[in-house]
């Protein structure tokens, strides 16, 4: 079992406005970690900040962060009140089915939001964590959609594939340090982002359940984490011959 980052060290949540990010912040707060919430509009999260402070008795701070402002990532990390011991990147944008091969501006936004911006944010975070003595962690929320491109979301999937590859390289780069890099690959999660979609009930989980699993996986030192049973599902999907896969719609 890998040693967990100290509970005295803060957990920074990048893209903290999403349902998955909020659930992860809550789960880390339960274990006693101070929480740093990075969002576009901090004023909109004062109620959440107060709730965490009262409910979990941990310090919570709000910070303005726009992942797409890629040239500000380093300055953002340097301006934090304390260097976090855990950084979670939950930045992402699913987009609409019509965005696949449609408006190039929307396509560009999906690809930058799911790959370029998160990757550069994690690079900046890695540099910040390098100065900490003791175990630290970088957790990137990718997706099973990145394991194989599908017609219904190939832009999102291709960007997540890039982010997964980036995290793999970063993990190898930092393998001789005390920085653990973990890639999380959720399947279907019932969130505001997937609202209105016909999700398969037995394969769909709540953000809260996913958050519990992610924190448990971090304690076990997992490097790549698929919530059950997605590792096995994706192993089957990845093994399908391309000629057969092209005929399938799901």
Could you list the active site residues?
156
| Whether the Cβ atoms of residue 52 and residue 63 lie closer than 8 Å to each other | no
Question: For residues 248 and 161, what is the distance between their CA atoms, to the nearest angstrom?
Answer: 20
19 contacts: CB under 8 Å, gap ≥ 6 = 189, 191, 192, 193, 207
Instruction: List all residues 6 or more positions away from 49 whose beta carbon is below 8 Å from its beta carbon.
Output: 37, 60, 61, 62
Calpha distance 220→237 (Å, rounded): 27
Task: Report DSSP state, residue 65.
Answer: -
3-state secondary structure of 12: strand
State phi, psi for 141 to the nearest 5 degrees: -90, 105
Are 201 and 161 in contact, with CB atoms under 8 Å apart?
A: no
Residue 6: CB atoms within 10 Å: 14
Give the phi and the psi of residue 89 in degrees, each rounded to 5. Answer: -105, 105
């Amino acid at each position: 079992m890998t040693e967990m980052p100290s509970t005295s060290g803060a957990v920074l949540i990048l893209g903290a406005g999403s349902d998955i990010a909020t659930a992860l912040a809550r789960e880390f707060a339960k274990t006693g970690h101070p929480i740093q919430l990075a969002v576009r509009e901090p004023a909109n999260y004062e109620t959440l900040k107060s709730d965490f402070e009262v409910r979990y008795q941990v310090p919570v701070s709000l910070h303005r962060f726009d992942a797409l402002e890629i040239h500000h990532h380093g300055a953002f990390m340097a301006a934090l009140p304390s260097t976090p011991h855990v950084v979670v990147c939950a930045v992402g944008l699913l987009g609409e089915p019509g965005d696949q091969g449609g408006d190039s501006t929307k396509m560009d936004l999906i690809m930058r939001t799911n790959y370029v911006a998160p990757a550069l944010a994690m690079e900046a975070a890695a540099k910040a964590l390098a100065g900490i003595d003791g175990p630290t962690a970088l957790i990137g929320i990718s997706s099973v959609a990145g394991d194989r491109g599908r017609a219904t979301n190939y832009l999102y999937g291709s960007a997540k594939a890039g982010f997964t590859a980036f995290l793999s390289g970063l993990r190898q780069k930092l393998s001789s340090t005390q920085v653990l890099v973990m890639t999380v690959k959720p399947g279907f999660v019932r969130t505001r982002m997937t609202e209105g979609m016909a999700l398969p009930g037995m394969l769909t989980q709540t953000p809260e359940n996913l958050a519990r699993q992610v924190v448990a996986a971090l304690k076990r030192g997992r490097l790549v984490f698929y919530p059950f049973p997605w590792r096995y599902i994706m192993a089957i999907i990845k093994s399908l011959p391309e000629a057969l896969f092209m005929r399938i719609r799901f």
